[in-house]
Chain A
Amino acid sequence: MRSMIALVLGAFAAVAAAADVGEIKVVRGAAHIERGKEQLPVKVGMPVQEADKVVTGADGNVGITFADNSLLSVGPSSVLAIDKYVFDSTTHAGQFDSTLSKGTLAVVSGKMVKQSPDAMRVRTPSAIMGVRGTDFIVKVD
């Protein structure tokens, strides 16, 4: 019974299959995900995976909820790479690294930064941000 519960809870945390780390919740305007050699149009309910690159057009916005309840919004004319995403739904330990090479990103940090303050990092062309449990915005012009 206990292991079944863990399974149910684990499934909830991971949204769906093992490689899925988040889910697209909001889509406005033009946007796609680059996954390996594929270019996938985004739609609400689509899973997000480690190593995905979210690309938006001039009118594009994409909102993503991650397994640890981190929330991301990728603004217009942006490129965001999910470099690394690991989250243990039992211990809340994890690591979330992403790179914004251009455009705008809004972040609401989730459970993993409450567990370990250095779990979330955002890179830009000239900086690296460490996140300690907060909402913030990054813009690269």
Chain B
Amino acid sequence: MAALAVIAAIALAVFLTRPGKPNETVVVLPSADGHVGTVVVQRGETRQVLDQAYATSRSGEKQVVKLSDAEVKHDFGATLQALPARPTSFMLYFITGTDELTPESKAELQNVLAALKDRPLPDVLVIGHTDTVGELTTNDRLSAQRAETLKGFLVDIGIPVTRIRTAGRGERELLIRTADEVDEPRNRRVEINVR
């Protein structure tokens, strides 16, 4: 009888201290470019599809509701602000046969430098390319040289050299497909991936 009472007491204690089910919230947000994708929330037998901006699923609620932009900022502002900067990429173009940027790309270079300065510790991948004028091996060298020139600009503004990788693709990866020995300005480029 006493044993039974003890068991009953333990059972009661376990029941009382059992934590309640947590409240869960899932909110779909428009991305930086305005695109809204989908999150499918499977909770036991219940399946909710969130495919509109600010569509919200809460545990224990059958209906999908919508939060306001202000509510999201209020509840999740700090977390959203700690998201890393969005990865981005740039294309810069060169004067034929050289590693000198076109005047337009010299201006665009300022945007690249600004994007890099925004990041406390950026990762940069610079890939150089050429058009089909000249020998394959010459173009391999020229494309690598274009990438290195860009790397130099980045090092000059203080990006640690260890954070920059370069590659030269020569005329092997044309942006605009052409025959051999075609002077195509859009193929004389470097691609800069920043994150």
Contact = CB atoms under 8 A, between A and B. Distances in A.
What are the 5 A-B residue pairs with the smallest beta carbon separation, nearest first? A134-B37, A75-B79, A61-B82, A25-B84, A133-B37
Interface string A111-141: 0010000000000111111111111111111
Nearest to B50: A136
B40 A129 contact: yes
A106 B22 contact: no
B165 A26 contact: no
Contacts of A138: 24-26
A84 interface: no
B100 to A, nearest CB: 24
Interface in B64-108: 72, 75-76, 78-87
Contacts of B140: 1
Given A105-B79, A136-B39, A138-B26, 4 more contacts: A23-B123, A75-B78, A139-B26, A141-B23
B41 A127 contact: yes
B169 A61 contact: no
A131 B37 contact: yes
Contact of A129 (B31, B41, B87): B41
Contacts of B145: none
Interface residues of A, number: 52
Contacts of B169: 5
Interface string B25-53: 11111111001111111111000001000
A126 B39 contact: no
B81 A61 contact: yes
B50 to A, nearest CB: 7
Interface in B121-177: 121, 123, 125, 140, 165-167, 169, 172
Given A44-B120, A125-B24, A128-B42, A8 B165 contact: yes
A92 interface: no
Given A61-B79, A76-B78, A69 B87 contact: yes
Interface in A76-110: 76, 102, 104-106, 108-109
Interface of B: 21-32, 35-44, 50, 57, 59, 72, 75-76, 78-87, 119-121, 123, 125, 140, 165-167, 169, 172, 193, 195
A130 B57 CA distance: 13
A106 B172 CA distance: 39
A73 interface: yes
A137 B72 contact: yes
B27 to A, nearest CB: 5
Contacts of B119: 25
A112 B56 CA distance: 24
Contact of B39 (A26, A76, A125, A129): A129
B84 A26 contact: yes
B24 A25 contact: no
B190 to A, nearest CB: 14
A4 B170 CA distance: 13
Contacts of B42: 127-130
Contacts of A73: 79-84
